[in-house]
Structure 1
Amino acid sequence: MTIAHFSDLHFGRIGHPGVVDALVEEVNRGDVTLAVLSGDLTQRAQSREFKAAQELLASLDPPTLVVPGNHDVHPWWHPIRRLRTPLSRYQAYITDDLAPTFDTDGVAALGISTAHGFTIKSGRVADADRKAIRDYFGPMDEERFKVLVLHHHLTKMQSLGPHDIVGQARRTLQTAVEEEVDLILCGHLHVSRIEPVEIIPADHRVVVASAGTATSNRWRTGYESTNFYNRITISPEAFTIEERRYVPEDEQFTRDGVTRFDRRAAADSAPTRTDS
């Protein structure tokens, strides 16, 4: 099974003229089973931005699993909308399902929303979402590969230095570990990083794959003009995460590196990394 994971499109702030078309072409020609979009479809939650995101999703051949990000709630200059119906435009244009699921070929995925009107940018995981994690993954057998999708981070990425994490991160990460989630897909930081979780001792390994901004010019300092998405391949023996970087001169994505995790190895076993 193959998952295309992209994040932080930020329609309204597209970085390169050909990057959106290149992303769609990559996903549609790549034998992808599921396309996952982990939030921030828009820059200011405007209708025209959601329409552009809606058109992109409609142009994808594989089924999609989408969750909102903090930029997909009504902005602060609409305070009543932001607090009362923060995701009304997202739900009107994209989906009203804030806990989407996908289950096939021994792989199960669940998305949760961390975007709320009362937070600024770091988001929060509600008690109901932790319950959704337990209810969805809990009854599954240990052979099922479990994927949790959200916009914000549940843990610090050790290689990135200081950055924000979502409210109730520790409790939510503990829930994910208890339910034997294998892979957490997120975005928000606008840079591609792949790391095992190291802050909670456990017999079960959890890997975090943070996708860079797929199409926008809101690049993280030090990664200017760089757009990424991840291609994840899952087999009974292992799973690999291929980071694919956009090359503006060629108007296409190219492999930047591949990280492989052995599913049968010990929780503290090291992954193997191959750079392009």
Structure 2
Amino acid sequence: MRLLHLSDLHFGRLASQTIVADLLAEARRQAPDLVVVSGDLTQRARPRQFQAARAFLEALPAPWLVVPGNHDVYPWWRPLSRLWRSLARYRHYITQSLRPSWVTDTIALLGLNTAHGATIKGGRLTTEDLTYLQTFFAAAPPQALRILVIHHHLVHLQDIGPHDVVRDARQALEAVAQAGIHVILCGHLHIAHVAPVLLQPQWQLLVVSAGTATSSRGRGPHRHQNFYNLLEVTPQTLRIETYRYHPEARTFTLTQTQTFERQGAQLLLETAQTG
């Protein structure tokens, strides 16, 4: 099972149409089984930006699963719409579902919304979503790799430096551990990073953060750089490849490969790393 993980497209003023075209060509080359987009499809949640994002999704060579980000919420200068109709445009142009899922014998993947009008840059998972998360993964095939897709981070990653996490992050992490989730795919920070996080003495979570795929706002060590992740899942292993865009050559090149071995229902233990 091959998953192409994109994030922070920011269609609008920030998205490069050249990179968009090259990313579509790269997606066709990689031939994924599913494309996952972990939020911020637009820059200001405007209709034309959502239309451009939708056209991009429809041009992808595989089915796609998408969650919204904070930039997909009505902007702050529309306060009433932001509070009461925060994702109306997202749901009109992209998808009605705020809990998209994909289940096979190999993976059980659930997307949840962390972008709400009452927050600015930060996010949160509602109590209802945490309850649904438990129910969804309880019904998943026992051998499946359990993946949660959200926009914001649930845990602070020391290697990245200071950054925000969702409200009530501890409660959310407890639900994640109880549900036996192996991997979180997220974005928001515009930094490509893979980090194991020990939630409990016997349970390790893998946080896979994608850099911005097409915008000009890569941050930190990835300033002005664009990335995507490719995940290859088998019953025995998970391989994560990180690709960086080179504008001069208009190509994406592999910058890092990490391979993890699964041990029964347990989370992954890193076995190899290159790059």
TM, length-normalised to structure 2: 0.95
Q: How far apart are residue 133 of structure 1 and its match?
A: 0.8
Query: Contact between 1:74 and 1:82, CA under 8 Å: does it hold in 2?
Result: yes
The structure whose residues are more often strand, as a share, is 2
Change (3 A) 1:259 1:13: farther
Distance in 1, Cα, partners of 2:200 & 2:74: 38
Q: How far apart are residue 271 of structure 1 and its match?
A: 4.5
Over aligned residue pairs, what C-alpha RMSD do you find?
Answer: 1.5
Instruction: Tell me whether 1:258 sits opposite 2:257 in the alignment.
Output: yes
TM, length-normalised to structure 1: 0.95
Structure 1 match to 2:229: 230
Q: How far apart are residue 262 of structure 1 and its match?
A: 0.8
Distance in 2, Cα, partners of 1:18 & 1:105: 37
Instruction: Tell me whether 1:147 sits opposite 2:147 in the alignment.
Output: yes
Structure 2 match to 1:35: 35
Instruction: Tell me whether 1:124 sits opposite 2:124 in the alignment.
Output: yes
Distance in 2, Cα, partners of 1:92 & 1:10: 17
Distance in 1, Cα, partners of 2:144 & 2:88: 34
Where in structure 1 are there 5+ consecutive unaligned residues? none
- Name the aligned partner's letter for residue 244 of structure 1: Y
Q: How far apart are residue 164 of structure 1 and its match?
A: 0.3
Q: How far apart are residue 139 of structure 1 and its match?
A: 2.3
Query: Contact between 1:177 and 1:202, CA under 8 Å: does it hold in 2?
Result: no
Structure 1 match to 2:195: 195
The 10-residue stretch of structure 1 (141-150 or 226-235) with the greater mean CA deviation from structure 2: 141-150
Distance in 2, Cα, partners of 1:97 & 1:29: 29
1:2-21 pair list within 5 angstroms: 2-14=2-14, 16-21=16-21
- Name the aligned partner's letter for residue 250 of structure 2: E
Q: How far apart are residue 168 of structure 1 and its match?
A: 2.1
Q: How far apart are residue 269 of structure 1 and its match?
A: 4.1
Query: Contact between 2:105 and 2:143, CA under 8 Å: does it hold in 1?
Result: no
Q: Deviations over 1:153-185 (max 9, x none)?
A: 011112112110011221111111111111100
- Name the aligned partner's letter for residue 104 of structure 2: T
Matched position secondary structure for 2:62? coil
Q: How many pairs align? A: 274
The 10-residue stretch of structure 1 (100-109 or 113-122) with the greater mean CA deviation from structure 2: 100-109
Structure 2 match to 1:243: 242
Change (3 A) 1:246 1:9: same
- Name the aligned partner's letter for residue 240 of structure 1: R
Matched position secondary structure for 1:222? helix
- Name the aligned partner's letter for residue 246 of structure 1: Y
Query: Contact between 1:16 and 1:248, CA under 8 Å: does it hold in 2?
Result: no
- Name the aligned partner's letter for residue 124 of structure 1: R
- Name the aligned partner's letter for residue 48 of structure 1: R
Where in structure 2 are there 5+ consecutive unaligned residues? none
Query: Contact between 1:99 and 1:112, CA under 8 Å: does it hold in 2?
Result: yes
Change (3 A) 1:97 1:79: same
Change (3 A) 1:157 1:271: farther
